[in-house]
């Protein structure tokens, strides 16, 4: 169970803070909901408490898992898919919906590499943004309030430093990705 004030990751939306737990009546049946405010967009989401894990709501990952995600991002797939963009989109969306940071990292890696080879479709560009916003956020390495791709291709020293929600300045783009 998540606590009020706790940070959590909601698949395809990113990191949010649990603001409250409220009881609402849906179709005549009372149900409890987490009220979560997304850090990236300030959007509010209601998530049924009894179904939170099934929809992929998860805790922030620990530093050991971050290292595994970085390893995935640095690795090269054996080959990039030659499928049509809409088939790739469905496959990638299925991975993102799992909520697994490792699956999302694979999508981020594959789309970043594909972007270097050719133009991405509109849907793939949006998915790249989605994967980037939910990949590597932990309690000790919180999400910066900016998107990584704005700084992709720049040297780390030239990337602007922004203050994360915890107050620490940190750029979380792994070396070798951009």
To the question of domain 7-59 being in CATH 3.30.750.24, the answer is no
Q: What pLDDT is stored for residue 116 in this prediction?
A: 86
- Look up the pTM and report it: 0.60
Distance CA 100, CA 102 (A): 5
| In the chain, ranges of CATH 1.20.58.1290 domains | 63-158
Position 171 pLDDT exceeds 50 = no
Q: Is the dihedral of CA 24, 27, 29, 34 positive or negative?
A: negative
Nearest partner of 143 among 122, 160, 168, judged by Cα: 168
Distance CA 153, CA 150 (A): 9
Distance CA 7, CA 16 (A): 6
Segments of the chain assigned E as strands: 7-10, 14-26, 29-38, 44-48, 58-59
Which fold is adopted by the domain 63-158? Methane Monooxygenase Hydroxylase; Chain G, domain 1 (1.20.58)
Q: What is the pLDDT of residues 67-103, one digit of tens each?
A: 898 899 888 886 766 778 788 888 888 888 777 888 8
34 has which bridge partners?
Answer: 21, 47
Q: What is the pLDDT of residues 140-156, one digit of tens each?
A: 444 443 333 333 444 44
Which region among 41-55, 113-127, 157-171 has the lowest average model confidence (pLDDT)?
157-171
Q: What pLDDT is stored for residue 81 in this prediction?
A: 66
C-beta of residue 48 within 8 angstroms of C-beta of residue 57: no
Count of other CB atoms within 10 angstroms of residue 1: 9
Most confident of 110-124, 136-150, 159-173: 110-124
């Amino acid at each position: 169970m998540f606590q009020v004030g706790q940070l959590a990751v909601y698949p395809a939306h990113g990191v949010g803070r649990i603001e409250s737990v409220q009881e609402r009546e849906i179709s005549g049946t009372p149900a409890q909901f987490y009220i979560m405010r997304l850090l990236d967009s300030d959007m509010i989401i209601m998530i049924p408490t009894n179904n939170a894990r099934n929809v992929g709501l998860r805790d922030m990952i620990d530093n050991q898992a971050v290292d595994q995600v970085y390893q995935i991002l640095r690795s090269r797939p054996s080959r990039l898919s030659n499928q049509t963009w809409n088939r790739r989109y469905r496959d990638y969306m299925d991975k993102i919906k799992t909520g697994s940071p490792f699956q999302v990292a694979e999508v981020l890696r594959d789309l970043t590499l594909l972007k270097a080879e050719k133009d991405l479709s509109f849907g793939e560009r949006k998915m790249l943004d989605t994967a980037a916003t939910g990949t590597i956020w932990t309690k000790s390495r919180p999400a910066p309030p900016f998107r990584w791709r704005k700084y992709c291709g720049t040297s780390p020293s030239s990337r602007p430093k922004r203050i994360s929600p915890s107050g620490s300045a940190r750029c979380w783009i792994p070396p070798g990705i951009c």
